[in-house]
Amino acid sequence: MRTVALRALAARRAALTVVLALSEPPSPGGVGTRTLGVDFGLRRCGLAVTAGFAPLPLRILPCDDADAERAFEDLARRVSSVASGEGVRQIVVGMPFNAAGDEGEQANVTRTFVCTLAQAAAPLPVFLWDERFSTAEARNRLSEGTASGALDSVASTVILEDFFAAPPEARAAAEHVPLSEAQQTVVAERMAAARSAAAAQPPPLSASERRRRMMEEVQQQQQQQGGLGRSKKKKR
């Protein structure tokens, strides 16, 4: 009983540590930080990846807006999966401000999606970046033949280019998408469960141990083959 209680206490402490870490707003990584760029749309979501000034279009993810909440959750999981597969350290989502720099209906929809994405991708930080001219620039590049790919993925590369080309102080001021208290709790429980599952797995074998076991298997096979040879001779 005491062992179980100690494990439960350790799990609660680990979850609290995660919550505290998630509640502290991180700073955006600069040039050299592997980053996923996201050009969000209700129909399609363009992705690009970079570790500096030369982002590459990655793919287009379709988004079915028949049920917005379910669609956003599904899309957030897929974007998070891509981020994990690409080994990125942060995600930058284009924020569609209007020409005056204000937020309209599309910006409100984007904020709803990025809140869902922040929970799905945690502990990866998610930042917002002004994308007002990214689509127009992407169209120009495609029409001039200086870019390849679909419009949305090229637009996401423009977002990343602008993000890393900005002065350090402007990039540092990029808006971080925070997690609500409820989201922090969900993420903390998820990460604590993942850590517990990993701790329950046996540690990987060292190279010397693998070599020793292989030698034992070879010796056993040789002994078995020798035994078979002797039994055949006796039968003769």
Can you tell me the distance from the alpha carbon of 137 to that of 155, in angstroms, rounded to the nearest whole number? Answer: 7
The span from the first CA to the last CA of the chain, in angstroms, equals 64
Can you tell me the distance from the alpha carbon of 72 to that of 111, in angstroms, rounded to the nearest whole number? Answer: 11
Can you tell me the distance from the alpha carbon of 105 to that of 160, in angstroms, rounded to the nearest whole number? Answer: 23
Is the predicted pLDDT of residue 182 greater than 50, yes or no?
yes
169-190: average pLDDT: 90
- Identify the pLDDT of residue 179: 92
Question: Strand (E) positions, the chain?
Answer: 35-39, 44-50, 56-62, 90-95, 126-130, 175-176
- The pTM (predicted TM-score) of the whole model is 0.72
- Identify the pLDDT of residue 148: 63
- Identify the pLDDT of residue 63: 84
Q: CB neighbours (10 Å) of residue 168?
A: 10
- Identify the pLDDT of residue 149: 67
| Pair of tokens at residue 129 | 């970046």
| Pair of tokens at residue 31 | 């040039």
| Pair of tokens at residue 205 | 């074998």
Q: Look up tokens 């599904």; give the residue.
A: 74
- Identify the pLDDT of residue 224: 77
81-107 residues labelled b (16+ CB within 10 A) or e (exposed): ebbeeeebbbbbbbbbbeeeeeeeeee
Beta bridge pairs of residue 93: 38, 128
Helix (H) or strand (E) holding 176: strand 175-176
Eight-class DSSP state of 122: T
103: pLDDT confidence band, cut at 50, 70 and 90? confident
Closest to 128 measured CA to CA, from 94, 167, 168: 94
177: helix, coil or strand? coil
Query: pLDDT higher for 127 or 220?
Result: 127
- Identify the pLDDT of residue 4: 45
- Give the pLDDT confidence of 57-96 residue by residue, as tens digits: 999 999 876 667 789 999 999 999 999 999 999 999 999 9
Helix (H) or strand (E) holding 50: strand 44-50
87-106: average pLDDT: 89
- Identify the pLDDT of residue 17: 47
Return the CATH architecture of domain 26-177.
Answer: 2-Layer Sandwich (3.30)
- Give the pLDDT confidence of 114-163 residue by residue, as tens digits: 999 999 999 999 999 999 878 788 888 788 776 666 888 889 999 999 99
Rounded alpha-carbon distances, angstroms, from residue 20 to 23, 39, 118, 185, 195: 5, 30, 16, 10, 17
44: helix, coil or strand? strand
Helix (H) or strand (E) holding 59: strand 56-62
Helix (H) or strand (E) holding 36: strand 35-39
- Identify the pLDDT of residue 6: 46
